[in-house]
Every structure is written in structure tokens, then in C-alpha cells.
């Protein structure tokens, strides 16, 4: 079995001291496609902002592992992860 491409482990994140994400976890393996669905205010966009390293969002606990590297809290994520999040194929 190949290494997981993206691991989101128990992420808690807030903006302006209001917690939006409450322990979100997600594992994505190479070749998989995942869709986030939910009602307005569920945290879909917040998760995207956190993954892209938007400095307005604060990760209070948890971690993000991309291709084996802990990228939690990085302000500017690698172009490779940005391509992945935009739906481009990674090899």
C-alpha cells in the first residue's frame, strides 16, 4: 500500500477567536477523489483556507501531513499541494 497523500488529523481551527473546525480528520490516498459537502457554515471553506495556509486562520490543535511532511501552520503551502487542492493530478 502506498503512502497517504494527505492526512488531516483532528484539526481545530479558528478565526478571530471563534472556533470553526472542531476535530476534522480526513485521509486521502494517491488516486482518490473526495468531495466536501454540507450546509452553509459547516466549515468547508474554512478547511480550504486552513489547508492553503491563510494567515487569518489559526490552527489550535491537530496536524496536516502532506506526502509525509508535516505542513501544519505553514503560511504559504507548496505549489504541489495547491495543485492537488485545485484537482490536478499528482504523480
Res. 66 pLDDT band, cuts 50 70 90: confident
Q: What is the residue-averaged pLDDT of the chain?
A: 84
Cell 503551502, located at residue: 77
> Per the confidence metrics, is the pTM higher than 0.95?
no
**DSSP conformation letters of 58-75:** EEEEEEEEETTEE-TT-S
Please write the tens of the pLDDT for every residue from 75-88.
555 555 666 666 65
Beta bridge partners of 28: 6
Beta bridge partners of 15: 18, 57
Amino acid at each position: 500500500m502506498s503512502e497517504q497523500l494527505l492526512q488531516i488529523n483532528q484539526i481545530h481551527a479558528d478565526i478571530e477567536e471563534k472556533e470553526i473546525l472542531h476535530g476534522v480528520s480526513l485521509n486521502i490516498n494517491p488516486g482518490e477523489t473526495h468531495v466536501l459537502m454540507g450546509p452553509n457554515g459547516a466549515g468547508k471553506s474554512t478547511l480550504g483556507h486552513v489547508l492553503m495556509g491563510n494567515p487569518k486562520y489559526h490552527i489550535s490543535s491537530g496536524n496536516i501531513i502532506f506526502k509525509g511532511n508535516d505542513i501544519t501552520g505553514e503560511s504559504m503551502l507548496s505549489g504541489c499541494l495547491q495543485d492537488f487542492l485545485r484537482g490536478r493530478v499528482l504523480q
